[in-house]
Amino acid sequence: MRRPFRGSSVLLASALVAALALSACGGSDGEEATGEGGTTSVTVGVIPILDVAPVYLGIEQGFFKEQGLELKLETAQGGAAIVPGVMSGQYQFGFSNTTSLLVAASQGLPLKAVAEGVASTGEQGQDFGGIVVAADSPIKTAADLAGRRVAVNTLKNINTTTTNKVVRDAGGDPSKIAYTELAFPDIPAAVAGGDVDAGQVVEPFLTIAKKQGLREIASNFAQTDPELTVGLYFTSQQYLGEHGDTVQKFTTAMQKSLKYANDNPDAAREVLSSYTKIEPDIQEAVTLPSWPDTIDTNSISVLSKLALDDGLITSEPDLTRLLP
């Protein structure tokens, strides 16, 4: 079940090299299609997860249409694919977790965050991400993870740096953790079967894990920062420079969509069935994240420092260039 320490970090590095090459060549960035009545068509790279429910709701509610935008959503496996997609002009906008954007920015990719994406609820034990262990595990607290095998979906990214922080804060030594990369859907079974000692999961897999009898010992997002910005919508600096008006319209519609999702949790749950395969009982039980309509800069600074401390980056990126 265990996999060698490779995969995501290598893929991300390769993706960044490819994106830098595409950026240097100019790609097709800067192009946009205008339809009837002056409507502007833009493509957004998203991941088919709970986090992006607001953009689907925004389309349903007509918030983007109000701004003269027609959105085409294209799904990707993760941010490592979306970042080069935005840089090449395949997507005008994209969604990615914050640490992936910090790593990309630290390596020179000219990205610009344009809207909040998703954030922690700030409530330990009631967040959309957490660390689970088997019901009979001797692991009681985050400190007990030192010396254990812990599964995460991506090595050297937001889920390892935030797990390391909660272990460190609890008095444990995160350098003694043996991380194993597994897809989120595989983690609950791996923990239950003893292939790993613990696993970090997000919804709906956190709810699925609990229903299978696993025990949550820490909320790595909420315990890192109660306002933690876990994901962001972004574009390229080039597209922003050439189409600032379109970017502003996207930001305005996205902020309205985030607020609507936050204020209407039932609608947020309902829209999940339009783009995910979550079972109805799980859909009703999942803990929704927070969707603030403004970016919490302080929490992004926290993630940047964690990335530096854990060796994901060699120097912190200039947040004034990355953030609005």
Residue-by-residue pLDDT tens, the chain, 324 positions: 333 323 344 344 444 444 444 443 333 444 556 666 689 999 999 998 999 999 999 999 999 999 999 999 999 877 778 999 999 999 999 999 999 999 999 999 999 999 999 999 999 999 999 999 999 999 999 999 999 999 999 999 999 999 999 999 999 999 999 999 999 999 999 999 999 999 999 999 999 999 999 999 999 999 999 999 999 999 999 999 999 999 999 999 999 999 999 999 999 999 999 999 999 999 999 999 999 999 999 999 999 999 999 999 999 999 999 999
Whether omega before 138 lies within 30 degrees of 0, making that bond cis, reads: no
Tokens (6 digits) for 90: 């395949």
| Pick from 135, 289, 288: nearest CA to 209 | 135
Tokens (6 digits) for 44: 């957004």
In this prediction, residue 36 carries a pLDDT of: 60
Distances (CA, A) of 114 to 137, 236, 237: 43, 10, 10
DSSP, collapsed to helix, strand or coil, labels residue 160 as helix
Tokens (6 digits) for 63: 């918030």
Distance CA 236, CA 220 (A): 30
Find how far residue 308's CA is from the centre of its chain. Answer: 18
